[in-house]
Amino acid sequence: MQSITLYSREGCHLCDIAADVLLRNMLSFDVVDIDADPTLRERYEECVPVVVIDGRERFRGRIDELLLRRLLVHREAK
């Protein structure tokens, strides 16, 4: 099972869309508010949402849903 983290911030409409895409694809994920951690805020200030799958940063800003599905199929095939 893959580990998915959504780096987000409150009031971010793109973050809400990213969460919807992940849910629509029946994925469970952890949400991390970048504003709760100064290091994360500095790292991701201008690029939330950020989606990390199995420790690898895969998406910034918007999720390409087709690419997400390909990543998941590839991941399951291993």
Q: Which long-range contacts (CB under 8 A, 24 or more apart) does 26-29 make?
A: 27/2, 27/72, 28/4, 29/4, 29/5
Q: Which domain holds residue 42?
A: 4-77
Model pTM score: 0.90
Counting the structural domains of the chain, the total is 1
pLDDT in tens, 11-66: 999 999 999 999 999 999 999 999 999 999 999 999 999 999 999 999 999 999 99
CATH number at residue 36: 3.40.30.10
The per-residue pLDDT for 74 is: 73
